[in-house]
A and B are shown apart, each in its own frame.
Chain A
Amino acid sequence: MDTTTAPRTLVDSRGSSCPGPITDLALAYRRSKVGDVIELWATDPGVRPDVQAWAAKTGNEIVSMEDRDGKIVVVLRIAKR
């Protein structure tokens, strides 16, 4: 499925540093199905390496990761559950 038409879950983790954005991502993953797209917003820069490690471990795909309007926006596609 194309990431522009797939149902997209927005996970807003801005301001979260402890336990951190990965909490919200892991929760969204738990509720997701293969094909879902998760858009994660965060302000903690630690999110970059963490999401990369998470995607490598879980076998999910990082569609994009960029800085936009003072936040880090990560788009992920769930490929494995």
Chain B
Amino acid sequence: MAKRVVIVGGGSGGTILANDLDPHTYEVTVVSASASHMFQPALLYVAMRGAPAAIARDERGLLPSRVRFIQDAVAEVDLTAQTVMTAGGERLPYDEVVLATGILTDPGQIPGLAEVNAAIGDYHSTAAQAQKLWRQLDAFRGGTIALGQASPVCKCPPSPLEGVLLAEELIRRRGLRDKTRIVYFTPYPRAYPAKPMDEIVAPILAARGIEVMPFFDLDRIDPATRTLYSIEGDQIACDLPIVVPPFIGADIAYRPAEVLDASRLVVTDRQSLRVKGVEHAFAIGDGTNLPTSKAGVGAHLEAKTVAAALAGRPAVFEGRTNCPFDMGHGFGTFVVGSYTAPVVKSPPTRWKHFMKMAFARLYWLELRGWLDPVIDVYFRMTAPKPAP
């Protein structure tokens, strides 16, 4: 009898995995809270450029026809009884489960942020929120913009900096640069957390007149005065606070509850991607506690690792990251590293920017596995060198 594999979450990781599993060996079910699949990196351009907000496709159409797709939120996963329960009451027993539920923005964690987030929008949650932010930027006529991440855990680590660089480009193009102060705040010791990349980024920020406030861990915001206060005791008063909200794992009850950490991330073995302490369960993508960047590239490689493990092939995840980084004005780079190879300096070029934009167009093909040969070659060619 075919083994029953239940994949919880139909985002990047879950969809790539469902497309990779052999339908003759596995009876695959994907359960996802949403019927549509959003290409999340496009939110940056919806918010900062007013790009079209039609950035989602129907998830069913991205899955092979033999995969069963259930659109419903999962309410409970019992890892000892090996069953998944949906909010609608469907009980799904499994032989293997893969948790690919991503992370969600959670502005309520910071006093004042829910109100500010509802008024200003953001570019890490929904297309509607990104459009709201675009309307704010579009109407902006000068003053202070403060942009940064509220918490150290962030989907796509370069994305807060991409936001500030693209916002600055917009303000400059509109002739508002002289009338605008732009502040970038971050809980890290410097603008880009990994030092070698910061050596690239810091001079660019300085050249574009963007002030950096390091060690600014957002404690609260006063929505009335739009003043941001940090745990460290600093404050920024601004006209337009663009805050990347804190993130939290999916709202699912697990048995045993110990598989989740304090941010509701699934405690996952770094190499095997098995959920710690239980059998027949894997976790991939943003929803894990792996010490890597939360990015689609990780979700891709982790999905391939689990596919190999399920097929009985050797499967070890090496922590490879490859985060595209749009630096504005047509320049871009990639932040590359792994568990054993620390991030190195990677200067921006127009070619790398072109690559980022080209990859984005190919996302829907990537999900189906149609680009695997090209992507495999790319990863091999750009493999980072381990530290000596």
Is A27 part of the contact surface with B, judged by Cβ < 8 Å? yes
Say whether B189 contacts A19, CB under 8 Å. no
Which of B152, B232, B263, B342 interacts with A17 by CB under 8 Å?
Answer: B342
Main secondary structure of the interface of B (DSSP, over half): loop
Minimal beta-carbon separation of B207 from chain A (angstroms)? 24
Q: Which of A20, A44, A50 has the most CB of B within 10 A?
A: A20
Given A27-B151, A29-B217, A54-B215: A18 and B263 within 8 A (CB)? no
A49 to B27 Cα, complex, angstroms:
51
Say whether B152 contacts A27, CB under 8 Å. yes
Instruction: List the A side residues contacting B151 at CB < 8 Å.
Output: 27, 30
Total contacts A-B at CB 8 Å = 79
Say whether B189 contacts A23, CB under 8 Å. no
Interface size class of B (residues with CB under 8 A): 20 to 34
Minimal beta-carbon separation of A1 from chain B (angstroms)? 21
Give chain A interface residues in 15-58, CB to chain B under 8 Å: 15-20, 22-24, 26-27, 29-31, 44, 46, 50, 53-54, 57-58
Say whether A19 contacts B193, CB under 8 Å. yes
Is B112 part of the contact surface with A, judged by Cβ < 8 Å? no
Give chain B interface residues in 173-225, CB to chain A under 8 Å: 187-189, 193-195, 197, 214-215, 217
A20 to B293 Cα, complex, angstroms:
9
Which of B215, B321, B339, B342 interacts with A57 by CB under 8 Å?
Answer: B215
Q: Which of B151, B154, B291, B335 has the most CB of A within 10 A?
A: B291
Apart from the given pairs A18-B194, A27-B263, A29-B217, 8 other A-B contacts in the complex at a CB distance below 8 Å: A17-B343, A18-B293, A19-B157, A22-B189, A23-B188, A31-B262, A46-B195, A81-B231
26 interchain pairs (CB within 8 A)?
A: A15-B291, A15-B319, A15-B339, A16-B291, A16-B292, A17-B339, A17-B342, A18-B157, A18-B197, A18-B343, A19-B154, A22-B152, A22-B189, A23-B188, A24-B291, A26-B217, A27-B151, A29-B231, A30-B151, A30-B217, A30-B231, A46-B195, A46-B342, A57-B189, A57-B232, A81-B231
Please list the residues of chain B having a beta carbon within 8 angstroms of any beta carbon in chain A: 151-154, 157, 187-189, 193-195, 197, 214-215, 217, 231-232, 262-263, 270, 291-293, 319, 321, 323, 335, 337, 339-343
